[in-house]
Structure 1
Amino acid sequence: MKNKYTYVWVSLVILVFGIIFIPKIIERIKTGTIIEHDRMNQTEADEPLNFIYLNNEKRKVPSFQFLNQDSLLISEKDYEGKVYVVEFFFTTCPTICPVMNSNLVEIQEEFRDFDNFGVASFTINPEYDTPRILKQYAEKYGINDMDWHLMTGNRQAIYDLANIGFNIFAAENQGVPGGFEHSGLFALVDKNGYLRSRTDDFGNPIIYYRGTISESQGENDEGEIQEVSILKEDIKKLLNE
């Protein structure tokens, strides 16, 4: 008889626990409020970001010096101690640039309170994109963070920076809309000027982040997934280093 009553009480305790706590656990999963240190929430995303290597050396942002939208001379030294995102674009781009810069404005707002975060945008059409044009473009898109510089200058220096320095493709091509083509990728740089990224499913650094798809869109017609979300996560990691 004692064992029978013990079984009844154990069953009752389990039933009460399920009624009270299981709905709360489900709700936390739905709303994403599982705290950072929950065992279930610990994933590979908690690992530090990789350095990018070239010839067995960590890739670092090369020296550059260009005028920004306020006609101020900006170099890589202005980004020392800051985590920043790099892009190559042009103001008359009719295709991917508006999406790229809308995504970056969203990132700007998320990290506005961080003095050690910035963006470096280099135009690949410097003959047209003067500081005055870049200023107008900044006002149009709501680019107003003091550490977001839209830069213009010597054409060859910019193309060398893109294609050699960052290995992010950029070229003039009169056969494409706008007359220029580029990859639409973002590079992520740490506080010491090194390129960093997370790894893919095979353990290889992704190197760059896809900037041509918004978080709200999710994926494009080719089935490529947006990477703005993971870029935000990785910016936070570098800010906390």
Structure 2
Amino acid sequence: MRKNTYIGIAFVVLIFGIIFIPKIFKRYANDDVVRGGRMHAIGESEELSEDELLYVMVNKKEKKVPAFKFIDQNKDTISDKDYRGKVFLVEFFFTRCTDICIPMNHNLQAIAKMYEENPNFGIASFSIDPEHDTPDVMKKYAEDYGVTNPNWHFMTGDRSDILKLSNEGFYLATNTEDDLDNGLYHSGLFALIDQNGFIRSRSDGYGNPKPYYRGSVPMDATVAEGEEASEIDILIEDIKKLLEK
């Protein structure tokens, strides 16, 4: 009787490993997996399509934009309250960046132009180099990119507040306070926020949210097989979905 029980348990473990371990591995191998919290897992029986917008869940709660207040390129005080009722994008960057910031902000400028006349859309760009990126520096930066959308704010402020906002508020990786000796770094990802302040995203194919959109690949780039593709096209689709609600 005991031998048969062990055989039954072993069979169950084997089936679990065949079905679920590859899916768990894929979630954690994906660079877009949210850090610092658990994402909501939705059963496959719900048959979610990969283009359906989900909420990002952390500790079983819908992840919402944290409170913030900074100064923008026009020396105006901008807070999370200024984005209430708007669909908006979030990025972390710095003006002296000569790498991924360039395609990121060209992509954002293309999107900003599409919605320049829409008061219900905005962009929040936070500098991780606030000592250099003063309002005047960022105003010149915005002008160089041809930014005219009044709802795109380039924000600066206390470095510790900005790094905390990126790493703890949005889980968009940047330097931490004790990690500033080897140069500045940040992710090339964008967060999409709905009108109620919740982070939204698509399914990864297993019913889990992919929290962010790859923003560092030019929207019209031709990429070889195996290289990271642009996600700006699907981001534009998802902005439109939210604005139409």
TM-score, normalised to structure 1, is 0.77
Displacement of 1:203 in angstroms is 2.5
Per-residue deviation, residues 158-207 of structure 1 (Å, max 9, x unmatched): 000000000000116554xxx21111110000001000011122222111
Counterpart of 1:29?
none
Separation of aligned partners in 2, 1:99 and 1:139: 16
CA contact (8 A) 1:86 1:187 kept: yes
Q: Does 1:71 align with 2:75?
A: yes
CA contact (8 A) 1:119 1:147 kept: yes
Counterpart of 1:217?
221
Per-residue deviation, residues 5-52 of structure 1 (Å, max 9, x unmatched): xxxxxxxxxxxxxxxxxxxxxxxxxxxxxxxxxxxxxx94664x1011
Aligned with 2:210 (options 203, 206, 209):
206
1:232 is paired with a residue whose SS is: helix
Q: What are the residue-to-residue correspondences of 1:92-131 with 2, within 5 Å?
A: 92-131=96-135
- Which ranges in structure 1 are unaligned for 5 or more consecutive residues? 1-42
User: Percent identity over the alignment?
Assistant: 48
Letter in 1 for 2:189: L
Counterpart of 1:38?
none
Aligned length: 195
- Tell me which structure has the larger Cα radius of gyration: 1
Aligned with 2:242 (options 230, 238, 241):
238
Letter in 1 for 2:243: L
Counterpart of 2:54?
50
More relative contact order, 1 or 2 (CA 8 Å, 6+ apart): 2
Q: CA RMSD in A?
A: 1.7
TM-score, normalised to structure 2, is 0.76
Q: What are the residue-to-residue correspondences of 1:1-241 with 2, within 5 Å?
A: 44=49, 47=52, 49-171=53-175, 173-175=180-182, 179-219=183-223, 223-241=227-245
2:88 is paired with a residue whose SS is: strand
Displacement of 1:113 in angstroms is 2.5
CA contact (8 A) 2:50 2:204 kept: no
CA contact (8 A) 2:49 2:203 kept: no
CA contact (8 A) 1:215 1:228 kept: yes
Report runs of 4+ in structure 1 exceeding 6 Å deviation.
none
Separation of aligned partners in 1, 2:161 and 2:199: 19
